[in-house]
Structure 1
Amino acid sequence: MKNFKVCPSLFSDLDTYLFKEGTHLKLYEKMGAHPLCSGETQGVYFALWAPNASQVSVIGDFNLWNPEAAPLSCRPDESGIWEGFVSSAFIGDRYKYRVVSKRGEAFDKGDPFAFAWEELPGTASIIASLHYQWNDHLWAEKRKKTNWFSYPLSIYEVHLGSWMRKEGKFLSYREIAEQLTCYVKKMGFTAVEIMPLMEHPFYGSWGYQITGFFAPTSRYGSPQDLMFLIDTLHQADIAVFLDWVPSHFPSDEHGLAYLDGTALFEHADPRQKIHPEWRSYIFNYGRTEVREFLINSALFWLDYYHVDGLRFDGVASMLYLDYARKEGEWVPNRYGGRENIEAVSFLRRLNEAAHLCFPHIVTIAEESSAWPLVTRPSYVGGLGFGMKWNMGWMHDILKYMELDPLYRQYHHNDLTFSLMYAFSENYVLPFSHDEVVYGKRSLLEKMPGTLWQKFAQLRLLLGFMYAHPGKKLLFMGSDIAQRAEWNHEESLHWNLLKDPFHSGMQLWVRDINRVYFEEKALHEKDFSSEGFQWIDCSDSKASVLGFIRRDGEEGKVLAIFNFTPVVRHNYLVGVPEAGYWRELLNSDGEIYGGMGEGNMGGKEAMEEPLQRQPCCLSLTLPSFGALFFRKEG
């Protein structure tokens, strides 16, 4: 008991009121372990929410893990918060909470609000400081002036443990910082999205089974090391988005499950408790403190780690009570429907809080259903996200590209259907990690035909994505046309760049990123029909597609795609203006591994009406070619 003393609580009456109301937006500065150093107050303050516990104490390196040494006191305000102060505890010490249920069962639990966790196989929390001297002030000022809807947002999705390794081992946050930043900058991506970095016990979950919602995984270093990585990216004008998982959590004994001997964060009813696909626990979004915990987790990463946005994983599984369930395996809402009313309310509240506290960030939903108004404000009935992954477009285009080109003419609708709804939400076009694992094959190996045809079609596919309305996301490895599926246990196959086909693909991605960034017509009106105009969407027999992208002024980019191996000479394409149309990009360029078929750098439009346009171009369309033209003058 000598290491434990009473000290002033970090909780004021207002803090307690806000906590019980569910509106405390800085709870991470009160809950968990907080080193205090002021006058005679030297030590660490601890606070844990465990309303159904009969006893709680702190055990750790500082008291030889003795559950009698540092008992916590339950606050008398019916908040369910246990708190106390340990004078012998210091930054770097490991700790857990010994929680005794009302039935007398004892559990050793990690801290739900811990800022750091020990390296596996250990499961203890670590007392940590979050002090860091940031150097991203210029980026912060730029972000205040950035409209993400009109920004050339090209996102490079990264799994840190397998992007690059050294002698088969992980690179630390600091080791990867310079290499990743230089690569992303060279390739022309304007943002990175990092797969979940929150502490997770099972590496094979890729970070999607989180136990530490306020701590970066210790696999790659300390909190300050991750801050250094984000800081380095920001100084290079690269936005940073983190994958975040509010849809479920694992059942590991040291985690959130049965934290005080009861179903606290999860549901008690097994029909609501277990996620059918991942066999993990589902958060109880109807409980005030659980919603508050998750909202604070999101705000914490935006606050202390300066991230520019969060991508919410598994939103569809949150919205539907019968998600992946059979009849009789789910509980209807109070109106008898399948919609998860509590989850909807939670998502709206979280998005409101995030944009209130950090108005210049963006939240992105991975939402695979047709739920309406995902990217519309809550005050008009929306969920309040800034953007949403366009899973429908992704599935349609990949299904189309896997067809033998001979049969594509009968599936032309798979190319054009996405434009029927392209502006109903603010879409991100994703070729993510999910499309290159579990037997789905890499993007390159999805393409039919000879090896040359596979590379040509992958260049075509990426060209189509960058021309299509919507922001862009490409998973690591696809930028170098990795042949094998992604394997989280090894590095990307960087040695492939010795092959001209692979280095050509890398060059194509770099150049198309550059043109996407430079040409406002390709990104400024991504979410508005004013930025898109069909030229020809009906030439199914030739499997050719053409359209114009426009900016907010007079800029125009013509994009033409030939989805067959047939070179088409003297192919006529209508254009809205006479004059010279310069060829910005040609996926069949020899520097990319193509055959060099093209249009000698550009074409003069003929003043002959075609396809409801006053003029036309006579073009050569390369085999599996993607062409981009800009009207000069």
Structure 2
Amino acid sequence: MPLNILDYDPYLEPFKEDLSLRLFEYARTKKRLLGVNGSLSDFANGYKYFGFQQEENRWTFREWAPAAKRAFLVGDFNNWENDFELKAAYGGVWEISSPGTLPVGSKVKVKLILENGQTVYRVPSYAMYAIPNETAQLDGVIVNPQYHFKNKTPQIKEAPLIYEAHIGISTEEYRINTYKAFTRDVLPRIKKAGYNTIQLMAIMEHPLYASFGYQVSNFFAISSRFGQPEDLMELIDVAHGLGMRVLLDVVHSHAVKNVGDGLNLFDGTTAQYFHEGARGEHSAWNTKLFNYGKDEVIHFLLSNLKFWMETYHFDGFRFDGVTSMLYHDHGLGTAFTDYSKYFSLNTDVEAVTYLMLAQELIHQINPQALTIAEDMSAMPGMALPISSGGIGFDYRLSMGIPDFWIKQLKEKTDDTLDLMGLWWELTTRRPGEKNIGYAESHDQALVGDKTIMMWLANDEIYWKMDINSPSLIIDRAIALHKLIRLVTFSLAGEGYLNFMGNEFGHPEWLDFPRPGNGDDYQHARRQWSLSEDPQLRFKYLLAFDQDMIDLEHRFKFLNQTDQLSQKWIKNEDKLLAYQKGDLLFVFNFHPSYEQTLSLLTKEKPELIFDTDDNKYGGFGPRSSFGWSKGELHLVLAPRTAMVFKIK
């Protein structure tokens, strides 16, 4: 297989052997798993074999527990007795078959007798549903969801415009929201806002609500907090009907440590799913780490991806914690300052191989699927095709950009904004790779940090967002909120992401009910009414975001990175101008002064967007422009931007 990645980035030439090893291990592992003619899609059918299967007039249950001595299926359907003993089959598999139909709705567990004589109870590893019992541990629940999907996945040609959402906190009420309520109340908001892709967080079952869904216990089960499997199926189906695709925030980077709820010590051994010793422990997250070199683990995780795509009709994945997977030190404390950091003994080649297999599988099942890597290290080739020597993701997240903005707002003043540094941060990419740009996601809003709007407005957001309350602090906050979003949206990626509510400057931070805050839901909800109140200025930010997103619908310029040209940049006057596709963007970041600028344009430009417009909470139109003999003359008010159509 040719290393076309070297054509994209010649600086990788010294690491040609490492890149060849990447492809060799990928091919070798595929051959070991599939033989000569096998396909990954056929291989990843574990969910059709393990767990509960209804087979005509019989049902079958299978579990993999190679270190167990005996196994029983127990539940309230048989009064938790031992009359359903599983038989040992090949490769550590246990199975039982019984006449009749599945006892749907029954609580169930696998009872294992270990080699040392200990008796343990486990939630089936392929359980589709689990609920807490009286001890606060989870019980599996037998489900056989029957839902008829009505809508096909929309064929979206434009750039991904992603609305990152969490079902539980999506209500304004002081409670956990449901799939059904999200479908009814939130999907129409997302559609109206103009986003074409929804990224759902915290779907995979997790015992700790406050983990934000990132400490998964049951990889095939949806979070029961939000409703039933059919409810999630309906949510995705309705989203498809509205013309939006749905991504799953998938967590294959680690698993919760809980014994009994999830996979940890499932058959009494650590090595069943995870690495032994320190390699199997994530010191910062206090979680377990998968052994990606073990065939049975690869089978489990790949089957998990296919399951979510075929059973629930997800259209792709955002892979969480990819950096942690790529390196033995999980990227903790490592500064990725040169290429040698990516190709060293610190690199977990087995994890890289798994990620490549996952990408091939996903696109084999659905060639239009969308995959995004959350990798802060900027591993070369992450979003290049495997055939070119890459890892195969479609996009990587532009993770440095939110850090840039938070550092600017926390540590610097407006007049020290480094436009050269901003331009570099927003436009630098791995050659040939696509990025998802964003100014802030859920990460920036978690307790201990604040949203961009809170950094800008602080306490004034509580008292001065009324349209009749003058406030220089709020005026600055609204103006910069718009500029930060517009410049990030237009430059930072071939796609864009927003966390729900941040489009209208949602106040405060995210925190889940827990003992430390008195189990309070104050910060675990979305205050939609703020953007709907005609007396509050949040409405201006929402209107701005909708029209900003509409620029992509109208002009489809995000993917036109090859048609990006810088027209003007100067730190002293805080002016920035650039053309992308048919659009010309002109920014005045100066906090105090009106600035003038002249730019050459062959055709007379048409003003299509002005951040200073009254409907966006501005004071304009204060800026002005004129065009004569191929030259555009601009006068820009402070903290404003204008967008022109120039063709």
Moved more, 469-478 or 79-88: 79-88
Shift of 1:502: 0.6
2:367 & 2:525 partners in 1: Cα distance?
A: 37
Q: Which residue, out of 525, 546, 550, partners 1:491?
A: 525
Q: CA deviation at 1:595?
A: 1.0
Cα 1:305/1:18, change in 2 over 3 Å:
farther
Aligned-partner Cα distance in 1 for 2:37–2:256 = 28
Per the alignment, in what secondary structure is the counterpart of residue 597 of structure 1? coil
**1:397 positional shift:** 3.7
**Aligned ranges for residues 265-280 of structure 1 at < 5 Å?**
265-280=272-287
* Contact 2:396/2:435 (8 A) holds in 1: yes
Partner residue of 1:578 out of 565, 588, 603: 603
State the TM-score, normalizing by the size of structure 2: 0.84
Structure 2 Cα separation of the partners of residues 119 and 258 of structure 1: 19
Residue 128 of structure 2 corresponds to residue 115 of structure 1 = yes
Tell me how far apart the structure 1 counterparts of residues 183 and 373 of structure 2 sit (CA, whole Å): 26
Q: Percent identity?
A: 25
CA contact under 8 A between 1:310 and 1:363: conserved in structure 2?
Answer: yes
Counterparts in 2 of 1:318-357, with a 5 A limit?
318-323=325-330, 337-357=345-365
Q: Which has the higher contact order (CA 8 A, sep 6+)?
A: 2
After superposition, give the CA deviation of every residue in 1:23-61 in whole Å (9 maximum; x if it has no partner).
72211111111233x3xx34x311001111111110011
Pairing of 1:199-210 with structure 2 (within 5 A) = 199-210=205-216
State yes or no: 1:562 paired with 2:588: yes
Corresponding residue of 2:145: 130
Partners of 1:266 and 1:281 within 8 A in 2? no
* CA deviation vs aligned residue, 1:550-579 (integer Å, no higher than 9, x gap): 1xxxxx10011121223425422333x222
Match of residue 81, structure 1, among 67, 72, 93: 93
The counterpart of 1:427, out of the listed 417, 429, 435, is 435
Aligned residue identity for 2:455: K
Q: CA deviation at 1:354?
A: 1.0
Deviations 1:334-381 (A, max 9, x none): x97100011011001111111112111011100000210000122322
Match status 1:518 vs 2:518: no
| Paired letter, 2:92 | G
Q: Which runs of 5+ in 2 are unaligned?
A: 1-32, 335-340, 458-471, 513-520
Q: For 1:336 and 1:486, how far apart are their aligned partners in 2?
A: 37
417 and 63 in structure 1: CA distance in 2 versus 1, 3 angstrom threshold: closer
Measured in 1, the distance between the counterparts of 2:607 and 2:132 equals 53
Amino acid at match of 1:312: F
CA separation of 1:15/1:112 partners in 2, compared to 1, >3 Å: closer, same or farther?
Answer: farther
Quick one: structure 1 residues 273 and 122, their matched pair in 2 at CA, closer, same or farther if it must change by over 3 Å? closer
Asked whether the equivalents of residues 578 and 606 of structure 1 are also in contact (C-alpha less than 8 Å), the reply is no
SS of corresponding position for 2:417: helix
- What are the equivalent positions in structure 2 for 1:436-455 lying under 5 Å apart? 436-447=445-456, 450-455=473-478
Q: 1:299 to 1:622 in 2, by over 3 A?
A: farther
2:558 maps to amino acid: H
Matched, 1:465 2:450: no
Q: Say if 2:397 is the partner of 1:389.
A: yes
Q: Which residue of 2 aligns with 1:476?
A: 500
Tell which deviates more after alignment, 339-348 or 435-444. Answer: 435-444
1:151-182: per-residue Cα shift (whole Å, max 9, x none)? 2321111111111144x222321122021111
Q: CA deviation at 1:325?
A: 5.9
**In structure 2, distance between residues paired with 1:424 and 1:22:** 28
Hey, what does 2:17 align to over in structure 1?
Answer: none
Report the RMSD for the aligned CA atoms in angstroms: 2.6
Q: Give the corresponding residue for 1:330.
A: none
User: 3-state SS of the aligned residue for 2:537?
Assistant: helix
| Contact 2:494/2:559, CA 8 A, preserved across alignment | no
1:170 and 1:438 mapped to 2: Cα distance? 18
Question: Contact 2:611–2:641 at 8 Å: present in 1 too?
Answer: yes
Cα distance 1:125–1:165, how it changes in 2: closer, same or farther (>3 A)?
Answer: farther
Cα distance between partner residues in 2 of 1:191 and 1:22: 25
Tell me, which stretches of 5 or more residues in structure 1 are unaligned?
1-13, 328-332, 551-555, 608-614
- Cross-structure match for 2:469: none
Q: Aligned ranges for residues 108-507 of structure 1 at < 5 Å?
A: 108-119=121-132, 121=136, 123-137=138-152, 140=153, 142-143=154-155, 146-147=156-157, 151-166=158-173, 168-254=174-260, 255-323=262-330, 337-402=345-410, 403-409=412-418, 412-421=420-429, 423-430=431-438, 431-447=440-456, 450-468=473-491, 469-488=493-512, 489=521, 490-497=524-531, 498=533, 499-507=535-543
Q: Sort the Cα spacing of 1:422 and 1:621 in 2 relative to 1 into closer, same or farther, 3 A.
A: farther
Cross-structure match for 1:10 = none
Whether the 8 Å CA contact 2:588–2:595 is kept in 1: the answer is no
Q: Displacement, 1:187?
A: 0.9
Cα offset, 1:265, TM superposition = 4.2
DSSP-derived class of the 2:547 partner = helix
1:5 aligned residue: none
Give the partner amino acid of 1:182: P
CA contact (8 A) 2:159 2:494 kept: no
> CA shift at 1:483, angstroms?
2.1
Distance 1:196 1:231 in 2: 19
Contact 1:456–1:625 (8 Å) recurs in 2: yes
Q: Contact 2:170–2:182 (CA<8 Å) still a contact in 1? A: no
Q: Distance in 1 between matches of 2:352 and 2:620?
A: 52
C-alpha separation in 2, matches of 1:323 and 1:122: 29
* Paired AA for residue 479 in structure 2: A
Q: Distance in 1 between matches of 2:642 and 2:358?
A: 42
- The secondary structure found in structure 1 opposite 2:378 is coil
Cα deviation 1:112-156 (Å, max 9, x = unaligned):
11111125635111111132111113xx3x42xx45xxx232111
Distance in 2 of aligned mates of 1:476 and 1:33: 36
CA apart distance, 1:278: 0.8
For 2:571 and 2:579, the matched residues in 1 are separated by: 18
Q: 1: distance between equivalents of 2:370 and 2:429?
A: 22
Which secondary structure does the structure 2 equivalent of 1:181 belong to?
helix
Secondary structure in 2 matching 1:178: helix
Look up the equivalent residue of 1:452 and give its one-letter code: D
TM-score, normalised to structure 1, is 0.86
Which portions of structure 1, spanning 4 or more consecutive aligned residues, are displaced by more than 6 angstroms?
A: 14-19
Q: How many pairs are equivalent?
A: 575
Who is 1:534 aligned against? 566
Q: What is the match of residue 52 of structure 1?
A: 67
Paired residues of 1:61 and 1:95 also in contact (CA < 8 A): yes
CA pair 268-238 structure 1, distance change in 2 beyond 3 A:
closer
Give the whole-Å Cα distance in 2 for the aligned partners of 1:161 and 1:625. 36
- Against the structure 1 CA distance between its residues 22 and 424, is the aligned structure 2 distance closer, same or farther, given a 3 Å change threshold? closer
